[in-house]
Amino acid sequence: GNSVTQMEGPVTLSEEAFLTINCTYTATGYPSLFWYVQYPGEGLQLLLKATKADDKGSNKGFEATYRKETTSFHLEKGSVQVSDSAVYFCALSRHNFNKFYFGSGTKLNVKP
């Protein structure tokens, strides 16, 4: 089946620290991979995506590389800001009805 596993939170960092949030997936075939972010009181919004192996998605200083050999899509940022505090969801999509499968979410708290 299809599933996504991501590291449990919360993750608490000081401003300007390096961020890694781990994500691994199980899927048949070749899924597309995504990171979504949810700010307090809001819905989810797309942060970045990668559609094939070795692709790197990037946005707002965040990066993730699609690693087929390790079935992973870890999120990284070199220097986090207080405004990055949010919940981050890793997800994959398959072409059957464009269905998305989400991880459980990782809450990030960044302290000044």
Partner 1 sequence: DVKVTQSSRYLVKRTGEKVFLECVQDMDHENMFWYRQDPGLGLRLIYFSYDVKMKEKGDIPEGYSVSREKKERFSLILESASTNQTSMYLCASTRTDEAFFGQGTRLTVV
Cα 31 to Cα 62: distance, rounded to the nearest angstrom: 21
Closest distance of CB 84 from partner 1, Å: 19
Which positions from 72 through 91 interact with partner 1, judged by CB under 8 A? Answer: 89, 91
Which positions from 24 through 43 interact with partner 1, judged by CB under 8 A? Answer: 32, 34, 36, 41-43
Q: Tell me how many residues contact partner 1 (CB under 8 A).
A: 23
Q: Residue 34 in contact with residue 95, Cβ under 8 Å?
A: no
Q: Write out the two tokens for 47.
A: 């942060």
Cα 84 to Cα 42: distance, rounded to the nearest angstrom: 14
Closest distance of CB 105 from partner 1, Å: 5
Report if residue 95 touches partner 1, rule: CB under 8 A: yes
- 7: Cβ contacts below 8 Å, ≥ 6 apart: 21, 22, 23, 106
> What residues line the site for partner 1 (CB under 8 A)?
32, 34, 36, 41-46, 49, 51, 89, 91, 93, 95, 97-100, 102-105
